Structure 1
Amino acid sequence: MKMIQHILGQKSILSIMFLINFLGTVYGYYWYRFQLADTPAQFYIFVPDSPTASLFFVIVLLGFLLRTNFPLIEALAIVTLFKYGIWAVIMNILVLISNGSLPWEGYMLIASHFGMAVQGLLYSPYYRFKTWHIIVVAVWTLHNDVIDYVFGMMPRYSDLMDYMTQIGYFTFWLSIFSLFIAYFLVIKKDSYKLSLPQSSS
């Protein structure tokens, strides 16, 4: 596992990951264009959850390429990548169960969002955030849940709108679990840290 993470820290791999996530972020915001068109301006920042998560990771990767760390952004990235990655996978599976079928875009979303969740965890040995960063991210994450499920700004899955109360409850606990994962992988395992390689070889 350490070997895999060492390879992920190579400049060439970081550059590829940066490009993939940058393009995915752009597409993600484009995907939300219709919902954003109907969203009050004060809620814009809370609506496109997945592309914002990948945007955090783009910034993290940029920091790695510059051989620096942005601890708060790293904490935001790992929590939101895992949370919204797993959330989207489960929502699309529920749509498949509800309808008996899923368009090809749904399978693409399952694969891409699962990749989001995994990549955030794989890079955890390179993160340098502290407990106070997790506290700030907890406020952001749980506040986002309130905006989504109290003010009705959650991502739109028309087939599941009748179950928003249950989905909101699930999302709250997914947020808690995501925060725990980040705390365990980065703060509790503080001695297990990797440094970015000096060369791109």
Structure 2
Amino acid sequence: MLWLLFLVNAAGTVYGYMWYGNQLEYTWNHHPLWQLIFVPDSPTASLFFTLSLLYLLFPHAGKPSKAFTAIRMGIEALAVVTSMKYGIWAVAMIVGGAAQGDTLEWQHYMLIASHLGMAIEALLYVRFMIFKRMAARLATYWLILNDTVDYTCMVFPWLPEELEDDLAAVAAFTFGLSIFSYIGALLSLHYRNKKTKM
């Protein structure tokens, strides 16, 4: 099961970066290079989760150092909060665009299914991860930094045309979803810790 999840997430990550290809090229040509890292939100979330699965696939790969454990906790925390956030965010943008007249094609339904999967798998696999509240908080700071760069430097993921006049509402929703994802991660950790003590 873990290997299947790893392969699906790895393939989805590659596809996601390809999906962002035009926007990455546009950002490369029209924005400072440091902003490139803030463009491909969903595939980067998928990348973090894919890396987290490697820790679960190879749990006894040598005696982990403190640095290794800290890096693992950071990647796992980023995997959970970013997967929850961008899984929900992408679905909301597709549905919001459709509600205002955007025509949905088969790719939209594929993206809805895959992004819902991102959010669900993150919640399901928290119980196997080792990160704690501080790592979740730091991962949320990254989300808020990403949001800030997205909507001040205008490198947010391209939206359906129908939502372009709702940019302020989209930005507010995006920032709110970062906090929601943090709360979701904390609740998941609380449930994980409670189950561990039982």
TM over 0.5: yes
2:185 aligns with one of 182, 187, 190? 182
Q: CA RMSD in A?
A: 1.6
State the number of aligned residues: 182
SS at match of 2:158: coil
Correspondence list, 1:118-133, <5 A: 118-133=120-135
SS at match of 1:99: coil
Q: 1:133 to 1:100 in 2, by over 3 A?
A: closer
Is 2:119 the partner of 1:117?
Answer: yes
Normalising by structure 2, report the TM-score: 0.87
Name the CA distance, whole Å, in 1 between partners of 2:196 and 2:145.
30
Name the CA distance, whole Å, in 1 between partners of 2:81 and 2:102.
31
Name the CA distance, whole Å, in 1 between partners of 2:160 and 2:108.
13
Q: CA deviation at 1:188?
A: 5.8
Q: What is aligned with 1:142?
A: 144
Normalising by structure 1, report the TM-score: 0.86
**Structure 2 counterpart of 1:26, which letter?**
V
**Structure 2 counterpart of 1:30, which letter?**
M
SS at match of 1:102: coil
Conserved in 2, the CA contact under 8 Å of 1:134 and 1:183? yes
Conserved in 2, the CA contact under 8 Å of 1:81 and 1:120? yes
Correspondence list, 1:24-63, <5 A: 24-39=12-27, 40=31, 41-63=33-55
In the alignment, structure 2 segments of 5+ residues that lack a partner are 61-68
The percentage of counterpart residues that share the same residue type is 44
SS at match of 1:164: helix
Name the CA distance, whole Å, in 2 between partners of 1:158 and 1:92.
8
Q: What is aligned with 1:95?
A: 97
SS at match of 2:104: coil
Q: CA deviation at 1:158?
A: 3.5
SS at match of 1:173: helix
Q: 1:165 to 1:78 in 2, by over 3 A?
A: same
In the alignment, structure 1 segments of 5+ residues that lack a partner are 1-12, 195-201
Conserved in 2, the CA contact under 8 Å of 1:128 and 1:186? no
Q: What is aligned with 2:81?
A: 79
Q: CA deviation at 1:55?
A: 0.1
Q: What is aligned with 2:175?
A: 172
Higher helix share: 2
Q: Deviations over 1:151-191 (max 9, x none)?
A: 11110014211111100001111110100110111146413
Conserved in 2, the CA contact under 8 Å of 1:129 and 1:187? no
Which one scores higher on RCO, CA 8 angstroms, separation ≥ 6? 1
Name the CA distance, whole Å, in 2 between partners of 1:23 and 1:55.
10
Structure 1 residue runs of 4 or more that deviate by more than 6 Å after TM superposition? none
